[in-house]
Amino acid sequence: MLTITNEDNMSLMSRYPDQHFDLALVDPPYGIGQDWKKHRGGSFRRLETQYQNTDIPSEEYFSELFRVSKNQIIWGGNYFTEHLPPTNAWIVWNKLKNAHIQSMGEMAWTSFSRTLRIYDLVWDGYKKCEQIRPWHPHQKPIRLYAWLLSEYATAGDKILDTHLGSGTIAIACSDMGYDLTACEENTPFYEEAMKQIGLRTAQMKIELS
């Protein structure tokens, strides 16, 4: 079941009891501003004015995230170190490409008691994408989310995503049979994500509210 809403993530999390979700798998804005605009082509122009990425989530956000979930994977955790405890269980997505404008990889903080893991996956989100067209400035591959779920989730787990973005996590959860509760505050992004998710999950029941 996919439960996806167009609302603020604090409002969503306030409705759930402590440790309701088994895994929070989130990709908050890193607060790096709009420099990405200089490097994007036509795929993003229609929605680019809707995207800011100027602020990182508040301390209250992280407190609430830790309250409602048993474990967490937080993309861009290296930008939020003032809110996250030290860990040796980082995840590194190695994009297997030489850096020029784009980063060679991305890092995720995790709450798990494991050693650092590296996942190799060639990715060029501006030119091609697996079964879903690239449209979000920070779209992550479906295969990346599928790997994360296979390594860090267990059958029957309830997954939380507080920043739906492109919606690729919803496609991975649908494909793998995980229940996902997610939200996206930005209405144009929410509508586009739902359109793209619907193309891949037409046979799945999507609960909207």
Q: Give the pTM.
A: 0.85
Handedness of CA 120, 124, 129, 134 (dihedral sign): positive
Per-residue pLDDT band at 36 (split at 50, 70, 90): very low
Percent pLDDT > 70 in the chain is 76
Dump pLDDT digits (tens) for 64-107: 999 999 999 999 999 999 999 999 999 999 988 766 556 788 99
Q: What is the pLDDT of residue 19?
A: 98
**How much is the pLDDT for 209?**
46
Look at residue 202 in the predicted model and tell me its pLDDT.
64
All residues at 6 or more sequence positions from 152 whose CB lies less than 8 Å from its CB, including other chains: 23, 25, 71, 73, 110, 112
CA distance 86 to 80: 11
CA max distance for the chain: 45
Q: What is the pLDDT of residues 1-24, one digit of tens each?
A: 999 999 999 999 999 999 999 999
pLDDT tens digit sequence for 102-137: 678 899 999 999 999 999 998 765 455 455 666 676
pLDDT number for residue 117: 97
pLDDT of residue 198: 85
Q: How far is CA 70 from its chain centroid?
A: 17
| 145: confidence class by pLDDT, cuts 50, 70, 90 | very high
How far is the C-alpha of 185 from the C-alpha of 68, rounded, in Å?
Answer: 19
Percentage of residues in the chain having pLDDT higher than 90 = 59
What is the rounded CA–CA span in Å between residue 144 and residue 141? 5
Structural tokens at position 42: 């036509």
CA–CA separation, 184 and 3 (whole Å)? 11
Residues with Cβ within 8 Å of 185's Cβ and at least 6 positions away in sequence, in order, are: 6, 7, 8, 9
Residues 177, 171: Cα–Cα separation, whole Å: 10
Rg (CA), the chain: 16
Enclosing H/E stretch for 109: strand 105-110
**Mean per-residue pLDDT over the chain, rounded:** 84
Cα–Cα nearest to 117, from 80, 82, 147 = 147
Give, for 10, the enclosing helix (H) or strand (E): helix 9-14
Q: Average the pLDDT over 51-56 and give the result.
A: 66
